[in-house]
Amino acid sequence: MWFWIFGACWVICILYQCAIYYYGHRLVNTHTDPESPYTLKNKSLPEPVSVIVCAHNEKENLMRLLPRLYAQNFKRFEIVIVNDRSTDGTIDFLLEEQNQHPNLKVVWVRSRPQHIKGKKYALTLGIRAASHDKLLLTDADCLPDTNDWIRGMSATLDSAALDMLDHTANTLKNEEKTFALGYSPYEKQRGLLNAFIRYETLHTAALYFSAALAGKPYMGVGRNLAYRKSFFMQKKGFHRYLSVMGGDDDLFVNEHATSSNVAISMDTRTQVHSKPKTSLKEYYRQKKRHLGVGKYYKEFDKKWLGAFSFSHILFWMGFIVLILAGTEPYFVISGLLTRGFMQFLFLKTAGRKLNDPINLALLPILDFLYVIYYIVLGISAVSSNNTRWS
């Protein structure tokens, strides 16, 4: 039985990886002339942008982030900081910053309705307070890689920015978009945990970028995400999942993103780096919250993502069982090597396009750890909804 399970899962894994590799190659090289992607054809003044950051006891991170935002190479933007019940000196710091920077707006959250979980209440208040229709979201512990972050992500919502992308992709028709999906890698540090965090982040990005290019967008990350205030208000924001701890980013995208209203940016100038967790306990809590929202995805997305994850788990289980049993070892090892080679190709390609290469020598170890990640966090996330945001 395990022989046939192993073979079937091998076929499924190869097909998935071929699809990811194919759609990943539908993007042309994004390392183009610095001006061309962000220069509007009609040379008109770019539409203003509201950058929204929710902060709960994030004074130290805001001290790093705000100077990067002030220095952005964009003429018309405001920064909306939502101070969500901070007790670490954030209030005094933001009051001083407001006096010095007229484009900084602070929204104060002193209490939160009990039925609204996570940061959705704070984010909704920030969106309501935003002066502009274009919204660009990130987290307090993130840092834009360049001073072109706002300019690039803003332009991705406009048709002019799509000239640098493959015009054959269904998701990138030459029209104004509602969503712009960006990439937010984690800082490179020493240790196996950091290597796995960066592997998981790149793997996830390869999936959601490829799905968007295939015309089936299913998620985005709130660390680097843009959409329109008018659309948010029209759809009544997060009203369908207020009791879910997460969902302010990926569930909102999953519910409303279509093949025609989503654009993606793989340009490295539109990336923001995030600070990774440094302990397994912190990482577990973070990913439990994130994975817990997957059960609220659309049925189609749950099925194809579930098949991808389940085949991954059964493949490794089948490999271990068949090797220990001594059943067709050459076939089993060949299956592992061919699957590993395909995974090597698509992760190497994704890392090169996103300028975020991972240690491919650790790929077999990281891939096996991903199975444990699926099992432990998947069961925990599905069975619990009582997590907090930080």
The pLDDT of residue 46 is above 90: no
Sign for the pseudo-dihedral over CA of 382, 375, 14, 264:
positive
Q: Rg (Cα) of the chain, in Å, rounded? A: 21
CB-CB contact of 152 with 34 (8 Å): no
Residue 168 has a pLDDT of 32
Region of poorest pLDDT, from 28-42, 186-200, 278-292, 357-371: 28-42
Residue 248 has a pLDDT of 86
The pLDDT of residue 159 is above 80: no
Calpha distance 136→102 (Å, rounded): 18
Calpha distance 232→235 (Å, rounded): 5
CB-CB contact of 62 with 34 (8 Å): no
Calpha distance 288→273 (Å, rounded): 21
Phi (first) and psi of residue 53, to 5 degrees = -135, 125
Nearest to 268 by CA among 34, 52, 61, 25: 34
Helices (H), 214-328: 229-234, 250-256, 280-291, 299-325
The pLDDT of residue 37 is above 60: no
Residue 164 has a pLDDT of 37
The arithmetic mean of pLDDT across residues 172-201, rounded, is 88
Q: How many residues does the chain have?
A: 390
pLDDT digits (tens, 9 = 90+) for 88-98: 999 999 999 99
Residue 29 has a pLDDT of 39
Three-class DSSP labels, 170-228: HHHCCCCCCEEECCCCECCCCCHHHHHHHHHHHHHHHHHHHHHHCCCCCCCCCCCEEEE
The pLDDT of residue 260 is above 70: yes
- As given in the structure block, the two tokens for residue 388 are 């907090």
The pLDDT of residue 44 is above 80: no
Give the Cα-Cα-Cα angle 285, 287, 292 (nearest 5 degrees): 100
Residue 24 has a pLDDT of 64
- 280 — alpha (psi -120 to 50), left (phi > 0) or beta? alpha
The arithmetic mean of pLDDT across residues 37-64, rounded, is 80
Residue-averaged pLDDT of the chain: 86
pLDDT digits (tens, 9 = 90+) for 103-148: 999 999 988 888 888 899 999 999 999 999 999 999 999 999 999 9
- As given in the structure block, the two tokens for residue 76 are 């018309």
Residue 180 has a pLDDT of 95
Region of poorest pLDDT, from 47-51, 167-171, 216-220, 363-367: 167-171
The arithmetic mean of pLDDT across residues 256-285, rounded, is 92
Residue 383 has a pLDDT of 63
The arithmetic mean of pLDDT across residues 318-346, rounded, is 90
pLDDT grade for 175, boundaries at 50, 70 and 90: low
Give the Cα-Cα-Cα angle 260, 248, 198 (nearest 5 degrees): 85
Region of poorest pLDDT, from 57-66, 321-330, 364-373: 321-330
Q: From residue 233, how far is each of 153, 227, 228, 246 by CA, in Å? A: 21, 11, 9, 19
CB-CB contact of 38 with 155 (8 Å): yes
Nearest to 181 by CA among 248, 260, 254, 264: 264
Name the packing angle between helices 329-353 and 192-213 (round to 10°): 80
Give the residue with greater pLDDT, 55 vs 16.
55
pLDDT digits (tens, 9 = 90+) for 272-331: 999 999 999 999 888 887 777 888 899 999 999 999 999 999 999 999 999 999 888 888
Residue type, position 184, single letter? S
- As given in the structure block, the two tokens for residue 208 are 């959601």
Nearest to 206 by CA among 12, 20, 337, 15: 20
Residue 95 has a pLDDT of 95
pLDDT digits (tens, 9 = 90+) for 375-388: 888 777 666 654 45
Percentage of the residues of the chain whose pLDDT score is greater than 70 = 87
Calpha distance 327→273 (Å, rounded): 46
